[in-house]
């Protein structure tokens, strides 16, 4: 019996995805560049062997799949994907579907999609979130491609996806690059979420002088409330873990330099390309960059010393902890509002017609940013899918108004204590700017007109104008 689907690339993510597919009763053909990995994978597949067809040549692999053949490519993003596609193509027939399931840049996905136009072959760019565990037991899956190609894979992908109660966390989101774009923004939000949690951790560690397990305790409690989420849950777990070598808390022996593979940066670049302010995501990416400059920071600390500051308020520890919890919630709203605003702009720019409520829905389980909060976002967008910004929906306007005083106290306290909180403070400034009908860009417009004669609009609607700069100055002299 032929396989329902094929998969190339038996690395960590690919193997787990293949086992998940087999376990859900789908027959799958697998191929890996080095056949040893294929043999090892098959040997360890146990009961699932009955649904797996291990193949050692591409020819054999393609022949093992029922046409039109959906073939998942799960290898390192970038050039290797193009190379793999070229190797595969000669064996494929009309309507076969190559599916890139890696963290591709959506621009590559658009290019690959276009290159296959008129070839008879088609392409799906598919974002898969949830790490190793998600791939094995139920990831969140964001699909971009033609609707026909989606229909061919819908059943298999639905069977392997995470479920929020009974609802599968997989959806077709639009043509060509839609799936990978949404996955990129998922990661941008993931960066912001992680940075904000790390900033709160910094306040607890360096401001309130709590130990790692004590901070774990705090996060554990928060995980039972409105911050309930996978990232808070794992933060509790990592903070409570001990290093088997030194016996110290594990986090205390980890070097404070964050890695990154690019999706956060792409989110920021695309946001800026489209003129969307995604300040919390920007702050998170910049935070990782600064973190990586460890040697420079250490040298600077020797020269400048730590900031001269007032101490953390110790007045009422309990209510400050409540403030921290509310501050994190408020700041998260800004990050998600910005991420969704970027997707709304991209949807217009690339004619994807991205379904906002569906995106929120399929992020409720399986993916790294899964949380109860996303269920609230789902409701807000279901009621008003075209709203300009999440923060002006009734539910989130209320949430912002209920929590922003806490964010303000936390940010100002952190700043007075010399603790760096770029993502939290950018979230607060975003609210403060977004909710103020008259800002200060009138001065910027005047300056631009002064030195470049750019002109400006007037509040009274009278035609575009230039200032009387020369004579105006004279008037005050
Ligand atoms: C996921 C994750 C994952 C991603 C990293 C981001 O949704 O499962 O987003 O796909 O690769 O978490 O990677 P870096 O932090 O290394 O950039």
CA distance 397 to 2: 53
- Atom 16 of ligand 1, residue of closest alpha carbon: 260
User: What's the pLDDT tens digit per position in 354-368?
Assistant: 999 999 999 999 999
- Whether the pLDDT of residue 344 is over 60: the answer is yes
CA distance 358 to 343: 12
User: What's the pLDDT tens digit per position in 172-195?
Assistant: 999 999 999 999 999 999 999 999
Q: 426: closest CA among 317, 280, 291?
A: 280
Active site residue 60: no
Cβ-contact 195, 256 below 8 angstroms: no
Distance 262 CA to ligand 1 centre (A): 9
Q: How many CB atoms lie within 10 A of CB 445?
A: 14
Q: Residue range 138-160: average pLDDT?
A: 98
Of 183, 240, 332, 361, the catalytic one is 183
pLDDT value of position 462:
87
DSSP SS3 for 344: helix
The string of DSSP letters for 55-82 reads: ESSHHHHHHTBPSSPEEEE-S-SSHHHH
- Whether the pLDDT of residue 140 is over 60: the answer is yes
Distance 187 CA to ligand 1 centre (A): 6
DSSP state, residue 206: I
What is the atom index within ligand 1 of the atom nearest the CA of 369?
7
Tokens read off for 199: 């900033």
Q: Does the Cβ of 260 fall within 6 Å of ligand 1?
A: yes
Of 4, 175, 190, 270, the catalytic one is 190
Q: 270: closest CA among 338, 200, 369?
A: 338
- Whether the pLDDT of residue 475 is over 70: the answer is no
Distance 446 CA to ligand 1 centre (A): 44
Cβ-contact 152, 122 below 8 angstroms: no
Q: Write phi, then psi, for 455 (nearest 5 degrees).
A: 80, 165
In CATH terms, the fold of domain 184-434 is 1.10.1040
How confident is the prediction for the chain on average, in pLDDT? 95
- Whether the pLDDT of residue 88 is over 70: the answer is yes
Give the angle 315-320-326 at the CA atoms, nearest 5°: 160
- Whether the pLDDT of residue 471 is over 70: the answer is no
Tokens read off for 446: 């005047």
Q: Residue range 58-64: average pLDDT?
A: 98
Place of tokens 């969704």: 340
CA distance 390 to 339: 10
pLDDT value of position 465:
84
Q: Does the Cβ of 76 fall within 6 Å of ligand 1?
A: no
DSSP SS3 for 420: coil
> Where does 5-176 sit in CATH, by number?
3.40.50.720
Tokens read off for 172: 């077709």
Cβ-contact 29, 42 below 8 angstroms: no
pLDDT value of position 316:
57
User: What's the pLDDT tens digit per position in 439-470?
Assistant: 999 999 999 999 998 899 999 988 878 998 87
pLDDT tier, 476 (very low <50, low <70, confident <90, very high otherwise): very low
pLDDT value of position 52:
98
pLDDT value of position 477:
40
Active site residue 190: yes
Summarize the annotated binding site for substrate as residue ranges: 103, 129-131, 186-187, 191, 261, 288, 448, 454
What is the atom index within ligand 1 of the atom nearest the CA of 139?
8
Q: How many CB atoms lie within 10 A of CB 327?
A: 30
Q: Residue range 4-31: average pLDDT?
A: 98
CA distance 42 to 438: 64
Q: Write phi, then psi, for 122 (nearest 5 degrees).
A: -135, 175
Summarize the annotated binding site for NADP(+) as residue ranges: 9-14, 32-34, 75-77, 103
| 11, 14, 190, 198, best to mutate for ligand 1 pocket (most atoms within 8 Å of CB) | 190
pLDDT value of position 317:
56
CA distance 91 to 62: 7
Summarize the annotated binding site as residue ranges: 9-14, 32-34, 75-77, 103, 129-131, 186-187, 191, 261, 288, 448, 454
pLDDT value of position 470:
76
DSSP state, residue 328: H
User: What's the pLDDT tens digit per position in 400-439?
Assistant: 999 999 999 999 999 999 999 999 999 999 999 999 999 9
- Atom 15 of ligand 1, residue of closest alpha carbon: 260
Enumerate the domain spans of the chain. Answer: 5-176, 184-434, 446-476
Helix (H) / strand (E) element for 17: namely helix 12-23
366: left (phi over 0), alpha (psi -120 to 50) or beta: left
Q: Does the Cβ of 267 fall within 6 Å of ligand 1?
A: no
pLDDT value of position 312:
73
pLDDT value of position 463:
81
User: What's the pLDDT tens digit per position in 217-256?
Assistant: 999 999 999 999 999 999 999 999 999 999 999 999 999 9
- Whether the pLDDT of residue 474 is over 70: the answer is no
Tokens read off for 66: 């029922």
Convert 268-304 to b/e letters by CB count within 10 Å (16 or more is b). bebbeebebbbbbbbbbbbbbeebeeeeeeeeeeeee
Distance 71 CA to ligand 1 centre (A): 22
User: What's the pLDDT tens digit per position in 249-303?
Assistant: 999 999 999 999 999 999 999 999 999 999 999 999 999 999 999 999 999 999 9
Q: Does the Cβ of 234 fall within 6 Å of ligand 1?
A: no
Q: Residue range 335-352: average pLDDT?
A: 98
Q: Does the Cβ of 129 fall within 6 Å of ligand 1?
A: yes
Beta-strand relationship, 70-73 and 5-8: parallel
pLDDT value of position 450:
93
Tokens read off for 163: 């479920």
Q: Give me the numbers of helices (H) and strands (E) for the chain, helices first please.
A: 20, 10
pLDDT value of position 314:
58
DSSP state, residue 293: -
CA distance 170 to 368: 14
Place of tokens 């690059």: 177
- Whether the pLDDT of residue 313 is over 90: the answer is no
Distance 4 CA to ligand 1 centre (A): 28
Beta-strand relationship, 70-73 and 97-100: parallel
- Atom 5 of ligand 1, residue of closest alpha carbon: 187
Distance 451 CA to ligand 1 centre (A): 45
Tokens read off for 161: 């996806």
User: What's the pLDDT tens digit per position in 367-392?
Assistant: 999 999 999 999 999 999 999 999 99
CA distance 74 to 77: 8
């Amino acid at each position: 019996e032929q396989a329902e689907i094929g998969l190339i690339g038996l690395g960590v993510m690919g193997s787990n995805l293949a086992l998940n597919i087999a376990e859900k009763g789908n027959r799958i053909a697998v191929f890996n560049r080095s056949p040893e990995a294929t043999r090892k994978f098959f040997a360890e597949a146990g009961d699932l062997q009955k649904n797996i067809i291990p193949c050692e040549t591409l020819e054999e692999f393609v022949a093992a799949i029922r046409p039109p053949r959906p073939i998942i490519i799960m290898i390192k993003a970038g050039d290797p994907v193009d190379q793999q596609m070229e190797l595969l193509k000669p064996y494929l027939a009309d309507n076969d579907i190559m599916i890139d399931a890696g963290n591709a840049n959506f621009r590559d996905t658009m290019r690959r999609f276009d290159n296959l136009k008129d070839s008879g072959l088609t392409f799906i760019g598919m974002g898969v979130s949830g790490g190793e565990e998600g791939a094995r037991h139920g990831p969140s899956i964001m699909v971009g491609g033609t609707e026909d190609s989606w229909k061919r894979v819908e059943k298999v992908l639905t069977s392997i996806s995470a479920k929020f109660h009974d609802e599968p966390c997989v959806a077709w989101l639009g043509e060509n690059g839609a799936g990978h774009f949404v996955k990129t923004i998922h990661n941008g939000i993931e960066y912001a979420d992680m940075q904000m949690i790390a900033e709160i951790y910094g306040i607890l560690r360096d401001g309130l002088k709590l130990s790692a397990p004590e901070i774990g305790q705090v996060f554990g409690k928060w995980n039972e409330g409105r911050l309930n989420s996978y990232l808070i849950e794992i933060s509790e777990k990592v903070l409570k873990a001990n290093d088997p070598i030194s016996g110290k808390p594990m986090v205390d022996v980890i070097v404070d330099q964050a890695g990154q593979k690019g999706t956060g940066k792409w989110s920021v670049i695309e946001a800026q390309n489209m003129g969307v302010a995604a300040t919390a995501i920007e702050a998170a990416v910049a935070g990782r960059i600064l973190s990586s400059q460890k040697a420079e920071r250490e040298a600077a600390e020797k020269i400048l010393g730590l900031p001269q500051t007032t101490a953390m308020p110790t007045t009422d520890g309990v209510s400050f902890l409540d403030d921290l919890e509310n501050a994190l919630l408020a700041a998260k709203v800004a990050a998600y509002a910005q991420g969704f605003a970027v997707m709304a702009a991209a949807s217009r720019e690339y004619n994807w017609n991205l379904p906002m409520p569906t995106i929120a829905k399929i992020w409720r389980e399986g993916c790294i940013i899964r949380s109860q909060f996303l269920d609230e976002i789902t409701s807000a967008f279901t009621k008003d899918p075209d709203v300009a910004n999440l923060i002006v929906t009734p539910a989130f306007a209320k949430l912002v108004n209920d929590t922003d005083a806490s964010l303000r106290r936390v940010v100002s306290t952190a700043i007075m204590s010399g603790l760096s909180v770029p993502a939290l403070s950018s979230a607060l400034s975003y609210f403060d700017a977004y909710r103020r009908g008259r800002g200060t860009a009138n001065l910027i417009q005047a300056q631009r007109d002064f030195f470049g004669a750019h002109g400006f609009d007037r509040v009274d609607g009278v035609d575009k104008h230039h200032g009387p700069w020369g004579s105006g100055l004279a008037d005050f002299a």
